[in-house]
Chains A and B, each alone.
Chain A
Amino acid sequence: MIGVSAEERAEIEAFIFREARLADESDYAAWEALVTEDMHYWVPFGAANYEPGTRMSYINDNRTRLATRIRQLMTGHRHAQTPPSPMRRPITNLELLERTDCEYEVAGNFVLYELSVQATRVLRLWAGRTTWRLRRTPEGLRLCRKVVELVTASEPQPTLAFIL
């Protein structure tokens, strides 16, 4: 990753890998603790080349709606994720897109393997590019924006009730 020191790079990667692991393991409370109060979580339809809210997206969560999403998952009655899907996602090709005094914008590729254990027991493959906007806070790095552009984003999707 060009544009950051070795120390910063290690810190950014550690954050991204931890965030991915918590999502993989459906550890919703620990995952939610990584996001800021102005978090925006966006999974666009097609490429992320439009203003969210001007047309339909798969997910366009402000902090309030993200809290609802997580609260719903944690009720134990979210059938679409009961039990939670076993998942693993390697993350590669990390690049720094932008840095400011207190924020980094980093993008990378992922492949996510999901076993849909709730009904079909099919192994689903999700692939795409994630852009993370990270902010330095007194508690360490926190996630203030996550944009996930799926390779299949212009096609109908199977159930997507977990955290991408």
Chain B
Amino acid sequence: MLIDRAVELSPVGQLALGAGWIGQRVASNWKMWPESDNDGYHLAIAHASLQKAVPGTQYEAALFSPDLDNTSQARDHGRGHVELELRCGYDRELAWLGTTRDKVRDYAAALERAYGKEAADRILWDGPPHALIFPNLFLGEMNLAVIEPVRPGETIHYHTPLLLDGVDADFNDRVLRQSEAAMGPASFFLPDDAVIAERMQQGLQVGRGTADGWIDLSRGAGRERRDAMGRVGHVSDETTNRGFWRHYRSVMTARA
């Protein structure tokens, strides 16, 4: 279902993953990355520098605000698959592409021809999912990322832009440019996540075997609710982190 939502962004229902994979090497355990990639609370702190340098990004309404007027949601779909559902927090259509309909008329028209007006309007509002397919495939909006464990204290975070078949070249150029800005070792987001993961790794090493070796993941546990798709909380709640770890515990303690 999550992958379908990414695929339907293409008017011909096909993704093109040929623009190359960039890898960032991080001195942290791999399990910090399903958390970091799908945590809605850290944005305003870990990425404060980007918020200051580039005010008004697509994340302003849907992610940066931890307040209740931010209507994005954190979802636990079960079996470790989790999502930050930003589409219910966007303040306009195409927020996910940082643009407006008049700039991508050909794309909007192609979607309408393929799926009809109602579905095209919905796709233009919703955009791609921001979600983890357990355990290590990250649907990072217009990026696809793979979290590769190297050893307990080392991980490589690989990504490629989610280019689409059946769209004009300008559209894919825009996606590639956004991807260069968002992910990778020299991008505006990932380096800050990486250094914080490395600091956490060091902190956990120090606290290993003692009461300090625990991380509290209870934020929002009291206001979490259930709906037809699973558990759901406010986007700044740790519903996603709990969903990942709950399933991790289940598979790691299951009898073969």
Could you tell me which A residues sit within 8 Å of B by CB distance?
43, 45, 53, 55-60, 65, 68-69, 71-73, 75-81, 118-120, 122, 155-161
Contacts and interface: CB of A to CB of B under 8 A. Distances in A.
B20 A45 contact: yes
A58 B53 contact: no
Nearest to B150: A156
A76 B53 CA distance: 11
Interface of B: 18-27, 46, 48-50, 52-54, 156, 158, 160-161, 173, 176-177, 179-181, 184-186, 188, 191-192, 194-196, 198-199, 202
A66 B179 CA distance: 15
Nearest to A159: B191
A119 B24 contact: no
Contacts of A159: 24, 26, 185, 191, 194-195
Contacts of B161: 56
14 contacts: A55-B176, A56-B161, A56-B176, A72-B53, A75-B48, A79-B192, A79-B195, A118-B199, A156-B22, A156-B24, A156-B156, A157-B23, A158-B26, A161-B186
Contact of A157 (B25, B27, B160): B25
Contact of B53 (A45, A55, A75, A119): A75
Contacts of A122: 27
Contacts of B199: 118-119
A6 to B, nearest CB: 37
Contacts of A78: 49, 192
Given A53-B173, A156-B156, A59 B23 contact: no
Contacts of B196: 79
Chain A interface SS verdict (over half): loop
B194 A80 contact: yes
Contacts of A120: 27, 198, 202
User: Nearest 8 A-B pairs (CB), nearest first?
Assistant: A156-B23, A80-B191, A119-B198, A72-B53, A77-B49, A56-B20, A71-B53, A161-B191
Contacts of B184: 56, 58
A160 B191 contact: yes
Q: Which of B49, B181, B196 has the most CB of A within 10 A?
A: B49
B20 A156 contact: no
Contacts of B191: 79-81, 159-161
A160 B185 contact: yes
B156 to A, nearest CB: 5
A159 B197 CA distance: 12
Nearest to A119: B198
A81 B196 CA distance: 11
Contacts of B195: 79-80, 118-119, 159
B20 A155 contact: no
A23 B18 CA distance: 33
